[in-house]
Chain A
Amino acid sequence: MPTIELRNISNFICRNINLKISGGELLVLLGPTGAGKTTLLNIISGLTLYEGSILFDDEPIDKIPVSRRGIGYLFQDLALFPHLDVRSNIIYGLLIKKLGQDQIEARLDEMCNLLSIRHLMGRYPKDLSGGERQRVAVARAIAPSPRILLLDEPFNNLDIKTRKYLRLEFKRILKGLGLTTIFVTHDFKEAEEMGDRLAVIDSGKLEQVATPQEIFFSPNGDKVANFLGSPNIFDCDNYEALGNGLVKASCEGLTIITVWEGGKLNKIAISPEDIYVSRNEPLGPPINRYKGTIIEEISLNSVVTIKIKTTSKDILVRMRKEDFIAESLTVGSDVFFILPLRNLKGV
C-alpha cells in the first residue's frame, strides 16, 4: 500500500497542509464542522482544485484524473446507487475495470465474506438498514482494490450502539487488508478508537498530528485543547500498584485510583463531560470522590460548564443544563464530584 504525502496543499479552504501517511496506516482527520476535513479528502481524490502536490509512493499524482487515481471514497451519505441492487452496486467498479466474469465473481465472493453481506445481494438500497448500507458502501469502495481509502464521517447517521460496533469491526477489516486509510470525524472518542495517528485540522490548517494519547495529554495550543473539550490533566508525583491492573496515584493533591498497566504513570486526564457532580454526598466507597466549591459557571445553549475549586487544582466540568438546574447548583455551592474509573486516561 502506498505512502501518501501532501506537500504545501492549499486551496480556498485548506492552508499550506503538509502531511505524510505511511503505507497501511489508518490516519484519522479530526476537526470541527467546517474545518476543511471533507475538502482535504476531495483534494486527495482530485474532486477539488488545489495548489501544491500529492505524492503516492513519492510519485506525484496531481495530473492524474479522478477516475484513474485508484481511490476508494465513502461519502458522508454513502451515495449508494439507489437504482442498482446490492450486487450491482458492489461490482460497478469491477465492471468499469473490465475484469473477467470469473474475477468479478471471485472478488464479489471475497467482499461477501469480508463484510458478511451475502444475504443482501438481491436487495435495493431502500430496503437496507443503516448498518447494512455502511457495509455495502464499504464493499463497493474496496472491491476494485483501491490504493487508498477515504472515509468521510461514514457512521454519522447511525445510532450510538451500531456506530461503536461498526467502527471496531471496520477497523479490524481495514487493518486486515493493510489499506492506507484516511478516516474523517469530528468525534474525538471515535478518532481515538479508530486511528493509529490523528491529524487535527481547524480553519483549513493542520494544527497537530500525533497519536491520540499525545493529542489528548499535550494538545498543541488552545484550538486543539478547546476542540477536545479542554480536558482536566493532572500531573502525577508518585503512584503505587494495587493489583488487578489498578494503581493509586497522587496527582496535584488528589489521590486518584485508575486502571494502569503501562510503565511509569506521568499524567492522568479526564474530559469535563465525564465527571459526575452532586450536591449530596454520593453513595459508595470513597474512591475518586472529592469535595469542592463552584467558582464559575458558563451557560451555552443546553450545556453548562462549571469550574470547581478544590484544595489543590480547579476542575472543569461540563453538564446538561437540566441536570445543573435539577441539582440546584449555583456559583458558591459546595459540591461532591466523582472521577469515574473507566473515563480516566493515563499516560
Chain B
Amino acid sequence: MNKLNWLKPQWSMLPIIVFLGGWELVVRFGLIPGNLLLPPFTTVFQEFYRLIANGVLVDNFLRSLVRVLIGFSTGSFAGILMGIMMGLDERTNKAFHPILSLLYPIPALGWLPILMLWIGIGELLPIAIIFICSFFPILYNTITGIKTVNRDSIRTAEILGASRIKILKTIILPLALPNIFTGLRLEAGMAWRVIIAAEMVAIPTGIGALLMRAESLIRVDIIIVCLIVLSVMCLSFEKFFIYMEHRLTGKWR
C-alpha cells in the first residue's frame, strides 16, 4: 500500500504549480506592468537545463557546496567542542564568555574585509566566513543545552558509579542534543545565505559569483536559476537536520 503513496495527489505541491502556471501566463500574455525584466518560467527551466548540460551550474554549485560543507562542519565541530567545555566548566565559561559575547554580535559578513586582508582572496576565505557564521550560534546553543540538563540526572548517574566521561557521553550530550540541533538547523540554512553573499562580493567562483556574472550580463533567467538552487539547498540542509533531530530525539521528547 505504501508503495502506491506517491500516486496520491500531493496537495502541498498545488500552490507551487498554480504559482508557476500563473507566472508563465502573466509573462506570455504581457500582463507585467512597466519594463520589468522577467522571463517566463519555461525559459528559466530551459536555461536551468542548459546550465546543467554545459557543466557551468554543476561546477559552481559543487564549489559552493564544498565550501559550505567544510566551513559548516568545522565551525559546528568547534562550536560544539567549545560549548561542551564552557557548559561543563564554569571557570572556562567565565574566562571565554566576555570575549565571545563581544565577537558574537558581529555579522559573519562583517569579517569579510579583515579576512580578505589576513588570508587573501582564495578558497580559504569563504570557508572561514562559514566557519565564523556557524561557530558562534552553535557554541551558544551547546552551552544552553548542557546547562539545562537536569542537575539531578547528572548526580544520579554519578551516584550510580558513572565516571565524568561516561556521564558526558551517556547523559549530558544526549540530553543537550535538542538544543545543539536547534543551532545546527538554523545555521545550516544560514551558511548558504552567507556563502552566496561572500561569493558575490569577493570570490570569482560558486553560485554567488555566477549570480553576479548573470547580473552584469542582464541574464535574469540565470539569476532566477541560481536563486532556486540556493532556496532548495537552504531548505534541504534544514530538513536534513530536522530529520536527524527527530531520529535521535523524537522517541523520548
Contact = CB atoms under 8 A, between A and B. Distances in A.
Interface in B129-180: 150, 152-153, 155-163, 166, 170-171, 174-175
Nearest to B154: A79
A77 interface: yes
Interface stretch (B57-65, B206-214, B245-253): B245-253
A82 B166 CA distance: 17
Contacts of A124: 251-252
Contact of A83 (B156, B158, B163, B249): B249
Contacts of A83: 174-175, 249, 252
Given A75-B152, A75-B155, A144 B160 contact: yes
Contacts of B160: 67, 92-93, 96, 140, 144
Contacts of B153: 79-82
- Chain B at the A interface: SS class: helix
A94 B182 CA distance: 33
Interface string A67-82: 1110111011101111
Contacts of B251: 124
A66 interface: yes
Nearest to B159: A73
- The residue in B155, B161, B162, B253 that gathers the most chain A C-beta atoms within 10 A of its C-beta is B161
Contact of A66 (B150, B152, B159, B170): B159
A56 to B, nearest CB: 15
Interface of A: 45, 47, 66-69, 71-73, 75-77, 79-85, 92-93, 96-97, 124-126, 140, 144
Given A72-B159, A75-B152, A79-B152, 15 more contacts: A47-B159, A67-B158, A68-B161, A71-B159, A77-B152, A79-B153, A82-B175, A82-B253, A83-B175, A92-B157, A92-B160, A124-B252, A126-B252, A126-B253, A144-B161
10 contacts: A67-B162, A67-B163, A72-B159, A73-B155, A81-B157, A97-B161, A124-B251, A124-B252, A126-B252, A144-B160
